[in-house]
Structure 1
Amino acid sequence: MLSIALAVGCGALVGFALGLIGGGGSILATPLLLYVVGIEQTHIAIGTSALAVSVNAFGNFAAHARAGHVWWRCALVFAAIGTLGALLGSTFGKAMDGERLLFLFGIVMIVVGAFMLKPRKPSGAGPQELKKTDLKTCLITGAVALVAGGVSGFFGIGGGFLIVPGLILATGMPTINAVGSSLFAVGTFGLATALNYARSGLIDWPVTALFVAGAWPAAWRGPRQRNGCPVRRTCSPRYSPC
């Protein structure tokens, strides 16, 4: 019973964080599965994490889409390009020794934490001042998507900590729209990684089910908590440059 409660509780934490900030929750999934839930093999924890995060991300994405936070063309293009990177990254990740992969994962978490502590400069740009679609914007978006997908697949994480700032950098969209749009890519990257790991039998299906069961109720709270309940529409999709 304790292991079931731990899996459900960890899933709730990941689901809430994903909905709130569009990233960060997924990077917690693998450590939680290894050190709290008790999965022993690193690759199984990564495969399980990827599938659970994918399902959680799509649940959060639905809530953001209903609130009008998603710039659809940006989300679709980013996910399509990044999925190629996720497939390549997960293939390399499976081939690497589990302990070495976990060590590199720890370094990534430290780097992400350091960037999160860095103060962010306020931006005065509004939707009317967003950049128009041009070749440079498309190239930046594609490059960021490929890198984010590769990192996501390699470590079995959603990659939202890369996708959200990447979308803001490439398109100039407001943060809330980047969060909502990123979740589609997080779900897609996770699904591609999970399918790759599932082919090698590296997913714990019962733990995945428990993780998802805990995450889905929390998934709907994340977007509401961000805006202050209830969820409201923010930026009209007609300003999307994608």
Structure 2
Amino acid sequence: MTALVLALAAGAVAGLSLGALGAGGSIATVPALIYLLGFTPAAATTASLVVVIVSSVTALVAHARAGAVRWRAGLAFAAAGLLPAAGAGALSARIPGTVLTLAFATLAALAGLRMPRRRELRGGGPVPGVRAAGAGAGLGAVTGFLGVGGGFLAVPALVTVLAVPMGAAVGTSLLVVTANALVALAARAYSAVHLDLTLLLPFLATAVLGAWDGRRLAAKVSEGTLRRVFGAVPLAVALAMCVAAVP
């Protein structure tokens, strides 16, 4: 398989996961860029933010057209994460590649364990103040440091902390993910990281198409099935990354 074909296939998987579940896109993106396309960990996490932003906006439009976005709650949640996303994004460029790889593998394992579970989440009313701000700040820091959208963390947080209905949590999480990723990418703008656009652009193109189709896929396939399928990928990714990172 050529690098171009690998980029197209990996981008499609990342986009489908993001569009269908509001999560998992960057969990597939970062390892694909490192192990299939030869990006360094620093370049992969930066390129992942580009993919997350463009594909999240695409999926967000699809969810917004269906009336499945709570704009006020999403913007409030995102606002708490903007400064942590910027700070973590700047810090990430100074972290050794092995540390970034192991940190990402840990997050991938967490995502793989959480995603297949049936979510019985109920919001008991919006939670003001410290708890809501802390959840938003934590998500922003994760996005900035590891170049991930964090949708698998954002969805349950939106439901339980801000009482966003489950039916709108996926679409709203895409709004949060987009805002945090934009700030994190801006914080890395002056870092000396080379991005191979000949591979990144094809990856991005199929991620966008996958994100758009993911919304329609979610309407046809049960959420449990989607979570089992997409949840197996991060677990395999985490194991492979740990094996590769340890000398």
Q: What is the TM-score normalised by the length of structure 2?
A: 0.82
One of 127, 149, 152 as aligned partner of 1:158: 149
SS of alignment partner, residue 103 of structure 1: helix
2:5 corresponds to 1:5: yes
Corresponding residue number in structure 2 for 1:109: 108
- Separation in 1, partners of 2:71, 2:144: 23
Which letter does structure 1 place at the counterpart of 2:69?
Answer: V
Which letter does structure 2 place at the counterpart of 1:60?
Answer: A
Structure 1 unpaired stretches of 5+: 230-242
CA distance 1:95–1:102, change in 2 (3 Å): same
Which letter does structure 2 place at the counterpart of 1:185?
Answer: V
Corresponding residue number in structure 1 for 2:133: 142
> Cα distance, 1:43 vs. partner?
0.2
> Cα distance, 1:89 vs. partner?
1.3
**In the alignment, is the contact (CA less than 8 A) between 1:48 and 1:202 conserved in 2?**
no
> Cα distance, 1:132 vs. partner?
4.8
CA distance 1:190–1:173, change in 2 (3 Å): same
- Separation in 2, partners of 1:102, 1:71: 34
One of 148, 154, 174 as aligned partner of 2:165: 174
Pairwise mapping of residues 64-213 of structure 1 onto structure 2 (< 5 A)? 64-118=63-117, 120=119, 122=120, 131-133=124-126, 136-204=127-195, 206=197, 207-213=199-205
2:208 corresponds to 1:216: yes
Aligned residues: 220
> Cα distance, 1:27 vs. partner?
1.6
Structure 2 unpaired stretches of 5+: 222-247
- Separation in 2, partners of 1:119, 1:18: 17
**In the alignment, is the contact (CA less than 8 A) between 2:70 and 2:168 conserved in 1?**
yes
Percent identical: 33
> Cα distance, 1:176 vs. partner?
2.6
Corresponding residue number in structure 2 for 1:35: 35
Q: What is the TM-score normalised by the length of structure 1?
A: 0.83
What are the Cα deviations for residues 208-234 of structure 1, in whole angstroms up to 9, with x where unaligned? 3222111111111111121239xxxxx
Q: Cα RMSD (Å) of the superposition? A: 2.0
